[in-house]
Chain A
Amino acid sequence: MTATDLIAFEPAPPEPRPAMTGPGHDRTPVQRAFRLILLGCLAVGVVFLAVLLAYVLTEGWQRLDTELWRNQASQIHPATAGAQAAIVGTLWLMVGTALIILPVGVLAAVYLEEYADRDKWYNRLIELNIQNLAAVPSVVYGILGLGLIVRGPLSLGPVVLAGALILALLVLPVVIISSREAIRAVPDSLRDGSLALGATRWQTVWRTVLPNSIPGIATGSILALSRAIGEAAPLVVIGVAAFVQFNPASVFDRFTALPIQIYNYASRPQEDFIILSSALIVVLLAILLLMNSAAVFIRNKYQRRW
């Protein structure tokens, strides 16, 4: 988890400065070259993205068929192998993770923004800790899951609940930080108005602050969730298998997920497996694109500027 994830829901972009562009500002060849080099830096990222998308689409399109959904994974018949269990497993993970991060993340954000006294050492500890957790590599969360949840004290095994718990802990800092920003954006005049009418502190939070920060919270949570379901490393560490032949029926069932299956197929050299993993990447990216579009839509449609 890193701060980059948080940039997407920066509340208000800085005031646009008057752009100092125009021919008058780049007079010498050196200045023009400098500008071109800078533009080239940006182009590297854009071109890389374009080539990546073009590659997975051209490789994967021939397997974007109904068998991909109808059939289950196979190590022997890559040409007809499907990914039903992986797609269903990813959806299970998504719902499970959302059910954990939404209440915990939002309540923690409410505490830190509306209740916490920042002079108290334990509140500062919580803040510092959230900052630090955001920098811990995802594979370490896998180790946490392996040692305490999958084996060890809880011994759940590599089931849906274990996967959802680990992914939830992984993205919780992002949810908390973005929810705090959404809550902070609600102006104090609304709180004062509510309190002046005799509302208690919690009534103010529940009926005034939270309803007004829902768009920001939703946007941040969806983006965090899309990060969670793209994660493979922690699931690999807790031992989620790639070739699960059945869909999970409850949170205590074993499962597999799209990133895990992509990882497994990607490490096989045969052409059919490259095609298959490309097709699965297209499916995964499509799910992520849908979620991100939903986040952007909510942000643009419901976000209020005070």
Chain B
Amino acid sequence: MSTTVRSTGAGVSLRRSKAHPAERVIEAVLFLAALVSVLTTVGIVVAIIGPTISFFREPAVSLWDFLTGTEWTVLFAEKKFGVLPLVTATITTTVIALLVAVPIGLGAAIYLSEYASPRARTLLKPTLEVLAGIPTVVYGFFALAFVTPNLLQTFIDVGTFSMLSAGLVMGIMIVPTVASLSEDAMSAVPQALRDGAYGLGSTKMQVAVRVVVPAAISGIIAAFVLGISRAVGETMIVVLAAGSTPNLSVNPLEPGQTMTAFIAQAASGDQPTGSIGYKSLFAVAALLFVITVLMNFVSIRLVRRYREVYE
């Protein structure tokens, strides 16, 4: 039996001789398993595209009205199909979440990377991971049952459902995402850069703010973008805490319905297949899918463009 071993750049790649047909079958099976992920994407596109096209073919709907209309009353008797109220609610809750998650996540990351002793780090990082592992329906329950009545309503005049409550809790949910990825980026900054700055007489704070953060900026920005895409796609927190009334308002104290919340709420109402309500689910999902995929590409591009390569 002869086995040719061909060496390629990374490690050893093993190119087999043609002797074993069974090995070809195995390789084909492995390839099929890897193909499942591509088929998932194809499946998502196929599932969305049919009902979406047929949604825009409905006489009551036009693409222009969908993108610019200010009323979304799909589940009412008099139906209006302007998606803007869902978009403004999504933007409002996402902005609030980022106002919480970006400073807190970045601060936590700087502390973990630059200040914490190795022992403190081994204790604190798993705690953040636990925070990341809590199901979002639990966050949603907590926002509605605890944060709104016990925290917000003692200080400000806010109703049971508000975009503020959902946004705040969503921000905390995203903190581990931002913190972990930013910390990874900062840990990858070579020690020589820090030592150089110390040698020039910098303080620890100056090293952190003026050397480490700028050097890790591409990774930090990627963490922010991922945070945005998590906030845009988050469902259970907003559907529980922000309410279910489409509302063209960016006032955080008001209730609002995000794109994801509409999908969840309308789908649980059991829309008959083929009805306009059913198709509208897919149209909103198409918009959501396009937005998140675009943001993912932006994140990948940003990282590539601003990446500083260290040896």
Contact = CB atoms under 8 A, between A and B. Distances in A.
Interface of A: 2-5, 7-8, 14, 16-17, 19-21, 25-28, 30-31, 34-35, 37-42, 44-46, 48-49, 51-52, 55-56, 59, 103-105, 107-108, 110-112, 114-118, 125-126, 129-133, 135-144, 146-148, 151-152, 169, 172-173, 176, 188, 191-192, 195, 198, 200-202, 204, 223, 226-227, 230-233, 236-239, 259, 262-263, 266-267, 269, 274, 277-278, 281, 284-285, 288, 292
Given A45-B127, A112-B34, 11 more contacts: A2-B230, A41-B104, A41-B111, A42-B107, A44-B104, A115-B31, A116-B34, A138-B235, A140-B288, A230-B134, A259-B137
Contact of A144 (B47, B105, B118, B204): B47
Contact of B40 (A45, A114, A144, A267): A144
Contacts of A267: 144, 240
Contacts, number: 314
Given A4-B132, A202-B23, A31 B264 contact: no
Contacts of B295: 135
A126 B38 contact: yes
B87 to A, nearest CB: 15
Contacts of A152: 47, 273
14 contacts: A5-B132, A26-B203, A56-B138, A107-B29, A139-B288, A144-B40, A144-B48, A200-B16, A233-B136, A259-B137, A266-B137, A267-B144, A278-B141, A284-B138
A129 B27 contact: no
Contacts of B140: 263, 266
Interface stretch (B71-79, B170-178, B247-255): B170-178
B296 interface: yes
Nearest to A43: B108
A284 B263 CA distance: 24
B41 A129 contact: yes
Which of A25, A41, A195: most chain B Cβ within 10 A? A41
Contacts of B137: 230, 232, 259, 262-263, 266
B290 to A, nearest CB: 11
The 7 residue pairs across chains A and B that have the minimum distance between CB atoms:
A137-B233, A41-B107, A230-B135, A147-B47, A107-B33, A111-B30, A38-B111
Interface string B92-110: 0000000000011111101
Nearest to B207: A20
Contacts of A277: 141, 145
B91 interface: no
Contact of B14 (A2, A37, A201): A201
A190 to B, nearest CB: 11
Contacts of A142: 263-264, 267
A19 B116 CA distance: 7
Interface residues of B, number: 109
Contacts of A14: 187-188
A21 B5 CA distance: 51
Contact of A236 (B128, B172, B268): B268
Contacts of B191: 17
B229 interface: yes
B167 to A, nearest CB: 14
Nearest to A136: B292
B168 to A, nearest CB: 10
B26 interface: yes
A108 B30 contact: yes
Which of B47, B50, B233: most chain A Cβ within 10 A? B47
Contacts of B288: 137, 139-140
Interface of chain B, main secondary structure: helix
A147 B104 contact: no
A237 to B, nearest CB: 4
Contacts of A41: 103-108, 111
Given A137-B292, A201-B16, A38 B47 contact: no
A288 B118 CA distance: 27
Contacts of B105: 41
A34 B107 CA distance: 9
Contact of A49 (B131, B146, B160): B131
Given A20-B204, A137-B234, A146 B281 contact: yes
Nearest to B32: A107
B175 A30 contact: no
A188 B233 contact: no
Contacts of A133: 37, 40-41
Contacts of B181: 3-4, 7
A49 B127 contact: yes
Contact of B36 (A35, A37, A104): A104
Interface in B1-43: 1, 3, 5, 10-14, 16, 20, 22-23, 26-27, 29-31, 33-38, 40-41, 43
A25 B130 CA distance: 32
B17 to A, nearest CB: 9
Contact of B267 (A42, A144, A239): A239
B204 A26 contact: yes
B233 A138 contact: yes
Interface string B241-271: 0000000000000000000100110011010
